[in-house]
Amino acid sequence: MTAIKTTSRTSSYKPGLAWFAALGAAWVFAVVTLGAFTTSIHAGMAFPDWPLSNGSINPEGWLTEIDKFAEHSHRLFGTVMGLLAITLVVWLQVREGRGWLRSLGWAALFIVIIQGILGGKRVLLDSLAVPGFEMSLGQMLRIPHGILAQVYVCVLFAIAAGLSRPWIEGAPEGTAPTPLKIRRLAVVCTLLVFVQLIVAAVMRHNNAGLAIPTFPLTPAGGLIPQEWDFRVAIHFTHRVLAAVLTVALAWLAVSLWRSPDVGRGFKRAAGLIVALLALQIFLGAMAVWTIRGPYYTTAHVIGGVSIFAVVFTVAWWSYRDAIIRRETTAAPTTA
């Protein structure tokens, strides 16, 4: 009976499934963009109910009023993301022979469910005060909602990479593995970017984006603020980490370019990292100079997610050989 259920599972390249996973990885950027724009224009409570919007899936004014458009579009795109996640996990269970990929599919679905709950509770608990804090409980939930979105991006990119033709059919046996130094550096950079995104989420949802209202220097003309509170501290931490990441990501890019043991894909990723980093610094500056202009602020959020996705993919792909060896070792010997 078990053999009948699993005969359709293989580890070979499946174009339909691979492209569907890539679609999911792309779609999440649309969801994040709409979520970031909703926050940037303070439209998170454009509708006081959930899961419907003013009791409808087609609420009045959502196509003509920007706040309602941003929030309702975010909800609709999130719903589609959920349907994509359900389809992906079922497709993986039926057709994919690698257990770790099937597990990642379940992880993606679990995150989507939690994200939906957090998004809904953010609205429904908006008026619930938390003693000792300026933010309500609903407003606090924006922070884990934003952070978990970054984790979800990585899970989808890991699935899409594992299903791609280059992962399955590329790099013939005997090819030198990615150097350990690069693998470790890629992991460190991934963790640093993730920490920066957490700091950014805390800063953003505490309205601290302009806690230091000038860039690159403070209003007093120095690098270090003269007056401190929580908002200034979290904003300054974001700037310090940005400087650290500039050095770390440049180091990673140069290491990839100079290494004779990595392929063209890694070298192209290095160029993309540098380009995204330069764009991100510009967008961060513009977000301050335009007093948090919503379009620059939203683009800055997407820039951060894009850097995270690329750096994570570099780190994930650098361990491809080790993952494949583990698959081979763990492969079952019985039907």
Tens digit of pLDDT for each residue in 218-267? 999 999 999 999 999 999 999 999 999 999 999 999 999 999 888 899 99
- Same domain, residue pair 322 and 190: yes
Same domain, 200 and 76: no
Q: Do 164 and 181 sit in the same domain of this protein?
A: no
The reply to whether 2 falls in a domain is: no
Pick out the chain residues at pLDDT < 70. 1-7, 171-176, 330-335
Regarding whether 292 and 267 lie in a shared domain, the answer is yes
Domain boundary among 154, 169, 184: 169
Q: In terms of domains, do 268 and 220 share one?
A: yes
What is residue 178's predicted lDDT score, i.e. its pLDDT?
Answer: 86
- The residue out of 151, 169, 187 marking a domain boundary is 169
Residue 4 belongs to a domain:
no
Domain coverage including residue 142: 10-169
CA distance 168 to 320: 10
Indicate whether 320 and 230 sit together in one domain: yes
Q: 160 and 18: one domain?
A: yes
Are 206 and 331 part of one and the same domain? yes
Tokens describing residue 114: 């939690």
pTM, entire model: 0.92
- Among 119, 148, 169, identify where a domain stops: 169
Tens digits of per-residue pLDDT, 129-173?
999 888 999 999 999 999 999 999 999 999 999 999 999 987 654
> 153 and 188 share a domain?
no
Q: How many domains does the chain have?
A: 2
- What's the pLDDT at 125? 96
Residues 181, 309, single domain; the answer is: yes
Q: Which residues contact 237 (CB under 8 A, 6 or more apart)?
A: 199, 203
CA 158-117-19 angle, to 5 degrees, is 30
Whether residue 5 lies inside any domain: the answer is no
Hunting for tokens 């454009």 — which residue is that? 46
Three-state SS at 224: coil
